[in-house]
């Protein structure tokens, strides 16, 4: 059972990958990992490249299957759910930000933020209102009709933040959100992300190499040798 304020709980999660496409000896990435995330709190996962941080995030969000263990998200065991049920949870209760902003390049900034809300079943009008509000909050009200290739890296990432929050998710999964930005833009995004998360009362699972950024979260976990260690 999950505790009442736990939104995400990983129990004894293990994951391995085949060494080659043709099989071979599997490589163990995660071994009996336990982790919890409480509502409206933030955790950061740090670790060396290849340590399995992103794998841990993908498993937590139900994007990747696991070999062993249980992932409970909002009282539901993600491993038991079908594709359509997972899609619904991703749409309504999860937000994602990646290192690359991953915007739909045929669409404007406004539409990129609007689309996830419409996928979740929000009316076009309300989705637009929410998108406008969020884009204003991330300081892009003057870039509404710009397409992806007309925006800078920092601006694209700000659109991605707005997009991730448009459905008022329970958890925001952020994988190296500042990884591709210069120092000044990275600092802006860090502040913006943490402020919005706090303001919107959204739980955050952050993957980062940046210890300073990680230290601004409620808890910091370090992934080392297939296990998670509480770092701070």
Partner 1 sequence: MSTPLIHMLVTRKLGIQGTWASKKRILFNVLLISIVVGALVFAQMFVVSMSNGIANKYALLGNGHIQIHENQETEITVGEYISDMQFVAQAFALVYSPTKNQMVRLKGVGPTYFNEQRLGELTLLDTELVSDGSTLPQVLISTSLANLLCVGQGDRIALMMINNNTLRPQLVIIKNLYDSGYKELDEQLVFCDYSLMERLFSNKADTYYELLVDDDKIETVKSSLQSQGLSVTSWDEENYSVATNLNTSKQAVLGVMLVVAVLCGYFISELSREMIEDDKHKIAMLKLLGAKDSLIRRVYFTTVMLVTVLSVVLGTSIGIFMGMNLGNLLSLLAKQSIPALSFYLLDFVIVIPYMEIALILLVLLIVGALSILWSLRRVHKIDLLSCTHFD
- DSSP letter for 67, please: S
Closer by beta carbon to partner 1, 54 or else 157: 54
The correct pick among 28, 36, 39, 63 for binding partner 1 (CB under 8 A) is: 63
C-alpha–C-alpha distance, residues 205 and 202, integer Å: 10
Closer by beta carbon to partner 1, 38 or else 157: 157
Q: Taking CB under 8 A as the rule, does residue 132 contact partner 1? A: no
Name residues contacting partner 1, limited to 77-96 (CB under 8 A). 83-84, 87-92, 94, 96
Q: Taking CB under 8 A as the rule, does residue 210 contact partner 1? A: no
| Cα of 59 vs its chain's centroid, Å | 11
- DSSP letter for 22, please: T
The CA–CA distances, whole Å, from 218 to 39, 178, 182, 195 equal: 11, 19, 25, 13
- DSSP letter for 187, please: H
Tell me the closest approach of the beta carbon of residue 10 to partner 1, in angstroms: 18
Q: Taking CB under 8 A as the rule, does residue 25 contact partner 1? A: no
C-alpha–C-alpha distance, residues 83 and 63, integer Å: 10
Tell me the closest approach of the beta carbon of residue 94 to partner 1, in angstroms: 8
Tell me the closest approach of the beta carbon of residue 3 to partner 1, in angstroms: 27
User: 122, 158 in Cβ contact below 8 A?
Assistant: no
C-alpha–C-alpha distance, residues 95 and 148, integer Å: 19
C-alpha–C-alpha distance, residues 99 and 173, integer Å: 11
User: 109, 135 in Cβ contact below 8 A?
Assistant: yes
Q: Taking CB under 8 A as the rule, does residue 120 contact partner 1? A: yes
The correct pick among 2, 64, 70, 188 for binding partner 1 (CB under 8 A) is: 64
Name residues contacting partner 1, limited to 134-173 (CB under 8 A). 163, 167
Q: Taking CB under 8 A as the rule, does residue 21 contact partner 1? A: no
> Other CB atoms closer than 10 Å to residue 12's CB: what's the count?
12
The correct pick among 14, 16, 100, 210 for binding partner 1 (CB under 8 A) is: 100
Q: Taking CB under 8 A as the rule, does residue 115 contact partner 1? A: yes
Tell me the closest approach of the beta carbon of residue 96 to partner 1, in angstroms: 6
Token pair in block for residue 160? 């991605």
Residues of this chain that interact with partner 1 (CB under 8 A) are 49-50, 53-55, 58, 63-64, 83-84, 87-92, 94, 96, 98-100, 102, 104-107, 111, 115-116, 118-121, 123-124, 163, 167, 175-176
């Amino acid at each position: 059972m999950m505790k009442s304020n736990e939104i995400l709980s990983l129990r004894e999660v293990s994951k391995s990958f085949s060494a080659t496409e043709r099989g071979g000896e599997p490589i163990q990435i995660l071994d009996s990992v336990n982790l919890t995330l409480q509502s409206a709190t933030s955790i950061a996962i740090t670790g060396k490249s290849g340590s399995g941080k992103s794998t841990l995030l993908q498993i937590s969000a139900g994007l990747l299957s696991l070999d062993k263990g249980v992932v409970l998200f909002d009282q539901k065991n993600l491993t038991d759910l079908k594709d359509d049920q997972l899609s619904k949870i991703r749409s309504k209760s999860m937000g994602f930000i990646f290192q690359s902003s991953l915007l739909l390049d045929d669409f404007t900034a406004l539409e990129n933020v609007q689309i996830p809300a419409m996928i979740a079943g929000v009316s076009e009008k309300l989705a637009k209102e929410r998108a406008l509000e969020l884009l204003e909050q991330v300081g892009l009200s003057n870039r509404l009709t710009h397409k992806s290739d007309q925006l800078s890296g920092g601006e694209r990432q700000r659109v991605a933040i707005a997009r991730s929050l448009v459905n008022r998710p329970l958890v925001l999964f952020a994988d190296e959100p500042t990884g591709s930005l210069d120092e000044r833009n990275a600092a802006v995004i860090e502040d913006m992300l943490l402020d919005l998360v706090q303001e919107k009362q959204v739980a955050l699972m952050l993957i980062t190499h940046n210890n300073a950024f990680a230290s601004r979260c409620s808890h910091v976990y370090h992934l080392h040798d297939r296990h998670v260690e509480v770092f701070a």
